[in-house]
Amino acid sequence: MSRILPYPILSASLAATWLLLNAPLSPGNVLLALSIGLTVPAVMLALRPQAVQVRAPGTLARLAVTVLSDMVRSNIDVARIILGLRRGERRTGFVTIPLDMREPFGIALLSIILTGTPGTLWVQYDSDTGSLLMHVLDYTDGDEWVRRVKDRYERPLMQIFAP
């Protein structure tokens, strides 16, 4: 059964997502949902992803709360900027952040966090130097952004995915 359903939760999630996004429920949509739910995990099996070892689940829970609160706060800040409530105060800019983390899963999760947070965007990562280029909608001080990313996201991710 593991060859047919190598990742059963992923299969069920993909099929359910397909059905939710493609309403109304029809035999064709159900067939497509099942085929996607079975095909994508089979492709994932062929890629042979490494097993992820979470070392600090408590830190992961705290990081999730931090990210959610940062996203809410960023949504409010971006809405103020877009609605013109902070006229003249906004300055966009790029920040280069030297990352100490080299764990691929941690780097991938950091990219999702930064891109998913309104007002910030992961632009480029140089794996040779470990530096990240990030665009910020509300640029204040580059050193402040470096500290924020390293303290709020990178350090917890390094604890979570420590070898």
Domain boundaries, the chain: 8-47, 57-160
Is the predicted pLDDT of residue 1 greater than 60, yes or no? no
Note the pLDDT tens digit of each residue in 6-57: 889 999 999 999 999 998 899 999 999 999 999 998 888 878 777 788 889 9
Distance CA 128, CA 133 (A): 13
Q: What are the φ/ψ torsions at residue 24 (nearest 5 degrees)? A: -80, 160
**What is the pLDDT, as a whole number, of residue 43?**
87
Note the pLDDT tens digit of each residue in 56-94: 999 999 999 999 999 999 999 888 888 877 666 668 899
**What is the pLDDT, as a whole number, of residue 47?**
81
Distance CA 138, CA 52 (A): 34
pTM above 0.85, yes or no: no
96, two tokens: 């280069």
More confident residue, 44 or 97: 97
Report how far Cα 146 is from the mean position of its chain's Cα atoms. 18
Res. 159 pLDDT band, cuts 50 70 90? very high
Note the pLDDT tens digit of each residue in 107-152: 999 999 999 999 899 999 999 999 999 999 888 887 899 999 999 9
129, two tokens: 């130097």
Please write down the HEC assignment for all residues of 108-154.
HHHHHHHHHCCCEEEEEEECCCCEEEEEECCCCCHHHHHHHHHHHHH
Residue among 18, 15, 10, 19 at smallest CA distance from 41: 10
Distance CA 145, CA 152 (A): 10
